[in-house]
Structure 1
Amino acid sequence: MAVPKKRTSKTKTKTRRTIWKKKAEKQAHKALSIAKSVLKNLLNEKNK
């Protein structure tokens, strides 16, 4: 017979969510900084 799984606690869920959000924020920041540096390099090459 099928038995329902135990429910995950709110604290565990919140902890996992915050970890996931922090990782996403870090990746977004890294992507933005890379885009800025690429754009700077393109502008510098154009001016030369």
Structure 2
Amino acid sequence: MAVPKKRTSKSKKNARKSVWKNKANKQAQKALSLAKSVLKGKSTSFIYTLNEED
């Protein structure tokens, strides 16, 4: 099993964590934007069907 030789610095650890969180935040913003456009009926990049049985 591979073991790191030296301890990772706080700045390097925080930089990696920041990149990971920023990616997640960007995806969350895209998902929210798509959900809003679907609810308003203005979505052009998302295909879905409406079941109006009621």
Q: Same fold (TM over 0.5)?
A: yes
Aligned identity (percent) is 62
Q: CA-atom RMSD, angstroms? A: 1.6
Structure with higher Rg: it is: 1
1:8 maps to amino acid: T
- Tell me the equivalent position of 1:46: none
Q: How many residues align?
A: 39
Point out where structure 1 has 5 or more consecutive residues left out of the alignment.
43-48
1:20-31 matched pairs, under 5 angstroms: 20-31=20-31
- Greater RCO (Cα-Cα under 8 Å, separation 6 or more): 2
